Amino acid sequence: METIVYNSFYLQAILFALLAVVLLICALSVFIKPAKRIIRASLVDAKSGHIFDISHAETSIGRSRSCDIVLEDISVSRFHAVLSMRSKSWMIFDTNSTGGVFVNGKRIDKKQDLKDGDRIKFGNTLEYIFYSTAVTTRKKKKTPVYNYREDFDDSDIDYNPRPSNSGYNSSYKNNINDTDENLDFKDFS
Amino acid sequence: METTKNTRMYFGRPGNFYGFITFVVMIALTAYQIIMSYLVLKQEKDDFAKLLIFFVSYMFIEWIYFIVVGVIKNRQISLEIIAFALSSISLFITASINPSSALTQFASIVLGLFVFIFMIEFMKDTTRTSFMRMPMALAALGLLAITILLASYKNGAKNWIYIGGVSIQPSEFAKIAFVYVGAATLDKLQSTRSLTMYVLFAVACVGLLGLMSDFGAALIYFATFIIMAFMRSGDFRTIIMVCAAALIGGIIILTMRPYILTRFKTYRHIWEYIDEGGFQQTRSLIYAASGGFFGVGIGNGYLRDVFAASEDLVFCLVCEELGMLTGFLILITIALMALGTAYNARYSRSSFFTIASCAAAGMIIVQTSLNVFGVTDFIPMTGVTLPFISQGGSSMISCWGLLAFIKAADARTYGLSLSHTKERRQLR
* Residues from chain A contacting residue B344 (CB–CB below 8 Å): 30-32
Query: What pLDDT shows up at residue B166?
Result: 79
What is the number of alpha carbons within 13 Å of residue B261 lying toward its C-beta?
Answer: 9
Domain total of chain B = 1
Dihedral of the CA atoms A156, A159, A162, A167 (nearest 10)? Answer: 80
pLDDT band at residue B292 under the 50/70/90 scheme: very high
Average pLDDT of B113-141?
Answer: 90
Instruction: For chain B, positions 74-93, list CB contacts with chain A under 8 A.
Output: 76, 78-79, 81-82, 85
Q: Is residue B362 part of a domain?
A: no
Which of the two residues, A40 and A186, has the higher pLDDT score?
Answer: A40
CA-nearest residue of chain B to A80?
Answer: B190
Quote the CA–CA distance of A183 and B54 in Å, as a whole number.
64
Helix (H, G, I), strand (E, B) or coil at A158: coil
* Residues from chain A contacting residue B323 (CB–CB below 8 Å): 12, 16
Q: Is residue B229 part of a domain?
A: yes
Please give the ipTM for the structure prediction. 0.88
Which of the two residues, A80 and A137, has the higher pLDDT score?
Answer: A80
Neighbour order of strands in the sheet with A90-94: A69-70, A58-62, A81-85, A90-94, A111-114
Backbone φ, ψ for residue B69 (5° rounding): -85, -45
CA-nearest residue of chain B to A131?
Answer: B425
Residue type, B60: F
Q: Does B73 touch chain A (CB under 8 A)?
A: no
Q: Does B346 touch chain A (CB under 8 A)?
A: no
Cβ distance B329 to A16 less than 8 Å, yes or no, reads yes
Q: Is residue B133 part of a domain?
A: yes
State the average pLDDT for chain B. Answer: 86
Cβ distance A134 to B344 less than 8 Å, yes or no, reads no
The DSSP 8-state label assigned to residue B69 in this structure reads: I
The listed range with the strongest mean pLDDT (A95-99, A159-163, B184-188, B336-340) is B336-340
pLDDT in tens, B210-239: 888 788 888 899 999 999 988 888 778 878
State the average pLDDT for chain A. Answer: 73
Asked whether the predicted pLDDT for residue B422 surpasses 80, the reply is no
Asked whether the predicted pLDDT for residue B40 surpasses 80, the reply is yes
Backbone φ, ψ for residue B134 (5° rounding): -65, -50
Q: Return the closest-CA partner of residue A145 out of A69, A80, A75, A81.
A: A69
Cβ distance B410 to A27 less than 8 Å, yes or no, reads no
Q: Is residue B114 part of a domain?
A: no
Which of B421, B422, B426 has the most A C-beta neighbours within 10 Å, making it the best mutation to test the interface with A?
A: B421
Backbone φ, ψ for residue A33 (5° rounding): -120, 80
Pairing of strands A134-136, B424-426: parallel
Q: Is residue B277 part of a domain?
A: no
Asked whether the predicted pLDDT for residue A33 surpasses 90, the reply is no
Sign of the dihedral defined by the CA atoms of residues A94, A99, A102, A108, in that order: positive
Contacts of B189 (CB under 8 A, 6+ apart): B232, B351
Dihedral of the CA atoms A130, A132, A136, A142 (nearest 10)? Answer: 50
Instruction: For chain B, positions 160-199, list CB contacts with chain A under 8 A.
Output: 185-187, 190-191, 193
pLDDT in tens, A142-187: 444 444 444 445 455 444 444 443 333 333 333 333 333 333 333 3
**Shortest alpha-carbon distance between residue A48 and chain B (Å):** 13
The DSSP line for B261-282 is: GGGGTTTT-TTTTTTTTTHHHH
Q: Is residue B202 part of a domain?
A: yes
Average pLDDT of B9-26?
Answer: 70
Dihedral of the CA atoms B57, B62, B64, B69 (nearest 10)? Answer: 160
Average pLDDT of B134-160?
Answer: 82
Quote the CA–CA distance of A12 and B323 in Å, as a whole number.
8
Q: Is residue B159 part of a domain?
A: yes
Query: What pLDDT shows up at residue A40?
Result: 80
Of A30, A96, A136, the CB nearest to B78: A30
Q: Is residue B355 part of a domain?
A: no
Query: What pLDDT shows up at residue A5?
Result: 53
Of A35, A85, A183, the CB nearest to B420: A35
Q: Return the closest-CA partner of residue A72 out of A129, A118, A122, A134.
A: A122
**Shortest alpha-carbon distance between residue B426 and chain A (Å):** 5
Instruction: For chain B, positions 353-412, list CB contacts with chain A under 8 A.
Output: 410-412
The DSSP 8-state label assigned to residue A127 in this structure reads: P
pLDDT in tens, A60-70: 999 988 888 99
Instruction: For chain B, positions 4-63, list CB contacts with chain A under 8 A.
Output: 6, 18, 21, 25, 28-29, 31-32, 35-36, 39
Contacts of A75 (CB under 8 A, 6+ apart): A98, A99, A122, A123, A124, A125
| Domain with B151 in it | 126-261
Least confident of A153-162, B200-209, B299-308: A153-162
The DSSP 8-state label assigned to residue B168 in this structure reads: E
Cβ distance A84 to B322 less than 8 Å, yes or no, reads no
Q: Does B420 touch chain A (CB under 8 A)?
A: yes
Cβ distance A15 to B29 less than 8 Å, yes or no, reads no
Cβ distance B350 to A84 less than 8 Å, yes or no, reads yes
Query: What pLDDT shows up at residue B150?
Result: 83
Query: What pLDDT shows up at residue A173?
Result: 32
